[in-house]
Structure 1
Amino acid sequence: MIISSEQKHPLENEWSFWMYTNKEKEWTANLVELTTFKTVEDYWCLYHHMKLPSELNTGQDYAIFKKGIKPMWEDESNQKGGRWQILFDDLQYHVLDAIWLDTVLLLIGENFKNADIICGVVVNVRQKNKISIWTNSFNSSAALEIGRKLKTQLRVPNKIHYYKHNTSKSMYNV
């Protein structure tokens, strides 16, 4: 069954799906914008055709950001912001996949009171995997509201930490 564009359910924002592929090359050369989507149906079509984070090779990343924002600290929209970071213990792949999906759905569904400061989400497949929700501002009340909602909605058992992009020191944790 083919759905016409008039029958699709539009998202509040258009989103770009990015992949970081090969850490052997220069970082910016590896960051590839694969596609964009702006409807619920287009997202689910993409989801069913992409690998789950647990199926990626170590060193690869996925990112979903509002269209026009690159998933890099140097992008103008990210320079004055930071990120909420969820760390995963080794071999929690089923948890990583589930929290990635739930986080993306929270973001593209605009389920945050301060959704305007959210830029996107990144999943890093590493020795210790992580999911980071990037913001364009580290305004304490807005950032804390986002962190609390993430922790509650995703039922993350461990503390999650907020880092300003240019530091490794946690500014907030919930």
Structure 2
Amino acid sequence: MTDVQAADNSGAQAVRTVLTDPENYNAVHQLNSQWTLWFDNPSKRTSTSTWTANLKEIVTMNTVEEFWGVYNSVAIASDLPNGSNYHLFRKGIRPMWEDKANANGGKWGCLFQRSIGEKVNEHWLHTLLACIGETFDASPDVCGVVFSNRKSCFRIAVWTRSASNKEACETIGRHLKTVLGINHSLEYLPHSDSGKGSANILYSV
């Protein structure tokens, strides 16, 4: 990320960031990539076409300040309706298996019992920050991250670009465990198995 001072006509002035002056900052912190937040509620899905129509693009973020503005304005993850999802994906990648950036990839998924309550919001936030901060060693292979609210659990999944790239996938999986602060194993499933009713575990870390 880089600091970018807002342009104005008043000449040189002291740089004020959102950390030092949340109301009147004149510099922003540019993200290395642009990220788009999406929302959908598959519980309303009856077909592929209606699901696609229900997938809503909310906003694209270019700076740290924009990210925090959006994060603090939308519903917290644990309050999403049952069956719904948040998706944060690199700009230009739709959160769908069929998107060309996702078609040959897969995902690391972590389930949380609903008894965890609002604690799951911390896990979601840490995962979001790892994505926009590009802290994964194989960050270019990270397409996006999904939060799912289900009747029996919460789920956080990180989608990667290439399921055949074992080194990158396992590197991402190991870092995700650190981000989430968990010790149990995580499993990686290829998108090619999605929707088949069963999936082959490709990697485990």
TM-score, normalised with respect to structure 2: 0.80
Please, which of 156, 176, 181 is the counterpart of residue 131 of structure 1? 156
Max radius of gyration: which structure?
Answer: 2
- The aligned counterpart of 2:120 is 96
- Give the count of matched residue pairs: 172
Residue 119 (structure 1) shift: 0.4
Tell whether the 8 Å contact from 1:23 to 1:30 is kept in structure 2 after alignment.
no
- The aligned counterpart of 2:130 is 106
Structure 2 residue 151 is the aligned partner of structure 1 residue 151: no
Residue 95 (structure 1) shift: 2.8
**Aligned partners of 2:25, 2:37: CA distance in 1, in Å?**
22
| 3-state SS of 1:156 partner | coil
Residue 90 (structure 1) shift: 2.7
- The aligned counterpart of 1:68 is 92
Post-superposition Cα deviations, 1:3-35, rounded to whole Å, max 9, x if no partner, equal 34xx10000000000000363242111110011
| 3-state SS of 1:8 partner | strand
Q: Which amino acid aligns with 1:130?
A: R
- The aligned counterpart of 2:25 is 3
| 3-state SS of 1:133 partner | strand
Residue 171 (structure 1) shift: 1.0
Post-superposition Cα deviations, 1:33-65, rounded to whole Å, max 9, x if no partner, equal 011101001000111111111111101100000
- The aligned counterpart of 2:196 is none
Structure 2 residue 54 is the aligned partner of structure 1 residue 23: no
**Aligned partners of 2:158, 2:79: CA distance in 1, in Å?**
21
- The aligned counterpart of 1:79 is 103
Post-superposition Cα deviations, 1:119-162, rounded to whole Å, max 9, x if no partner, equal 00000100222111001112100100110111123212332111
- The aligned counterpart of 1:169 is 200
| 3-state SS of 2:122 partner | helix
Structure 1 gap ranges (5+): none
| 3-state SS of 1:144 partner | helix
Post-superposition Cα deviations, 1:75-134, rounded to whole Å, max 9, x if no partner, equal 010000000101112322223211100000001000011111110000010022211100
**Aligned partners of 2:44, 2:85: CA distance in 1, in Å?**
14
Percent pairwise identity: 38
**Aligned partners of 1:29, 1:120: CA distance in 2, in Å?**
20
Q: 1:164 to 1:22 in 2, by over 3 A?
A: closer
Higher relative contact order (CA 8 A, sep 6+): 1
Tell whether the 8 Å contact from 1:87 to 1:160 is kept in structure 2 after alignment.
no
- The aligned counterpart of 2:83 is 59
**Aligned partners of 1:141, 1:95: CA distance in 2, in Å?**
31
Q: 1:119 to 1:158 in 2, by over 3 A?
A: same
